[in-house]
Each structure stands twice: as C-alpha cells, then as structure tokens.
Structure 1
Amino acid sequence: MSESASHPNENERLLLIVEDDAAFARTLKRSFERRDWRVILATSLEEARELLRTHAPTNAVVDLKLGTESGLAVVQALHQHDADMLIVVLTGFASIATAVEAIKLGASNYLVKPSNTDDIEAAFSRTPGEVDIPVAARPTSIKTLEWERIHETLAETGFNISETARRLGMHRRTLARKLGKRFVP
C-alpha cells in the first residue's frame, strides 16, 4: 500500500475496520469508500497494531469476535493509541456485559449485527448519553448469558485464557473451543 497516511489531511477520514469475515469487511470497505472515507483493513489485534505504526485512523469499526481473539482487546489497544479515535464495536453476540466493557475500554458505541454503513456512521456522530435511542426488547438465552460471563471474565483477566478458564471452573481447552465456536443467540 503506497498511502502516506502517517500525515493525513485534517479533513480526511481514515477508517480502520478490524473484522475477520473477509467478505463482510470488503463490503463494508467499499460502502465506506463510496462515502469518501479512506479505509484500511485488519483481521486481528496484531494486524491492527501493525497498521497503527504507519496510519492514523480517525475512526474504527471492530468486530467483537475475531476468531479466538476478543475484539475488546483491540478496542483497548486502539483507545490507548489514540483516545480521540471514535470506535464502534459490531457484534452478533450482543450482551450487556460486553457492551459495558467495550465502552469502559474506549469504544464510543456498540452495535448489534446486522448493522449497515448508515448505522455505523450514525453511531460515529452520536453524542454520549443520548436519550432518543430506541430500546429493543430481546429475550436473553442461556447461551447469551454464558457468552456474557465468559467475556466479562476475559476482560477482568486482561484476556488471559488460562486464568479465565480457572476462574470459570472449566478446562482451558473447553474455553478455547467455546471461543472458537460461532453461535448466534
């Protein structure tokens, strides 16, 4: 990539998308580019950190589940890199615990998939504490509650899988398998 992004134009919007679903990431990238955004892609925390060495994104979209990695670690790293970066977390695994952790770690907003470019841009421009956000009634399943507890404990342990498994009273391999599964509550 021959972009000189380390010194972007002040009016330029550079979006970092951290998403491990390649098809979804490409679709989102094209959609944002049609809206005059410059977009860079990463599929993991390590790739995101590598891009931060040469690019200065103004905004980021982070998937909560990146393979076996938690997107919360990415949110934390992005916020530590630039506290002014607007970060929106996307997830198919919506839970109160992960939403709260994402905000605590520096996300400016949290959206449930499927979310489109309009939703994400609106989330970037929303001010903290808006009272006009619609409240949706969605029953919580046992799997969702389990997922919430796993993510809450992961955040508490600094994303240490062994310690998280110990605290949850499960074998490390069982936890790794659960993190590797793709379920939709």
Structure 2
Amino acid sequence: MMATTHALAGVALAVLVGVLFPESAAGTSLLPVAAAALGGLFPDFDLYAGHRRTLHFPVYFSVAAAVAVAVAVAVPTVTTVAAALFLVAAGLHSAMDALGGGLELKPWLGTSDRAVYSHYHRRWIRPRRWIRYDGAPEDLLAAGAFALPALYVLDGTARTVVLGALGISAGYVLLRKPMVEVTQAVVDALPDEHLDRLPARFVEDFR
C-alpha cells in the first residue's frame, strides 16, 4: 500500500480516539494525530534498506503498542498518548502490508511471495493481495476511506494536509506504472559495470 494510505490510517485512528475520548490528549491536541501519521509512515523509511523487513515489525510493534497504550491509559498525557498512537499506527502499517502485494517492482504481476517480514516468526508473510499493489485504484479507495473521518473532524492546516495527502495519492496512482516503465528503460540502458551501484532489487527485477 502507499505510504500515504498508511499515514492516513494512522490519522483515522487518532481521530477515532479523539472522538471516543474527547477530553483525552487525542481530542484536545494535534500532536497525537501527527504522531499517528508519522507512525503510519515510519516503517517505510526502510524503502531502500531491506524494505518491509528492516523497520517492519508486525508482532513486536504490536506488543510495544499494547504496552504503550496501557501506559497512556494509566498516565494520560499528550506525550504518552502520542507515543501509543505512533506505535499502534506503526504496528498497523506492518500488519496491513500483508494484505497488499509483494515486493517485486512490478507487483501487479503477482510473482513475489514476500509481503512483509515477521522477525518473531523469522520468515516472510505471503501477500494476500486484497489491495493488489501500492498505487492500485483500490489503494486510493482505501486512502480516501481513511481520510474521511479526518476531513469531517479536522479543520485548518490539518485538514489541508489530509487533502494534500489524498492529492499525492491520486498522482501516485496515475504515475505508478509509467514510473516503473521509465525506471526499467534507464536500468536497461546502463552499462553492466554501473549496475553494482543500484539497489539489488532493481537489478534482479529489471535485468
């Protein structure tokens, strides 16, 4: 799924907590909302360094999130609530990746059996392909669904940021396959002696 979909899922989570508990930090401060968005993005910071393995922890993020939620309930401050939402969103991202496509650079072909790595189980979890690949039309639909609660509840700059994320998502969906075609053309044109400078997955998938 797109990074923006994961970020918006985190925002939706924070907004839901704020609506259910309006007197909590999630209902009175934007910091927990921002933390949830960042938590939704965070696992994808490993994009070029062992993607969906280095910073993706479906089990461990979930355990850490459970502890953080307990702390936030016991000591409900802006910091503890923000930390809890960050970890819940990061765990949600890691788990949601199993519902998408595989790691191949043309995931619409469905050739990879690796969706996300579980360090606890020491193995890759296979892709379910409920959302066929990041940037698929249904991915944009999911992003829109996650954005709806935020668009209803938030206003001002926060609402503008959510709309911006949706705009980026729509643009990515339009460019997803053309970007791969351009990248493949560039890789195909490179002399063999320069291939070692590319991420291994580019060489494996394109050459």
The answer to whether the superposition gives a TM-score over 0.5 is no
Structure ranking higher on relative contact order (CA contacts 8 Å, 6+ apart): 2
Q: Which structure's residues are more often strand, by fraction?
A: 1
TM-score normalised by L of structure 1: 0.29
When Rg is computed on C-alpha atoms for both structures, the one with the higher figure is 2
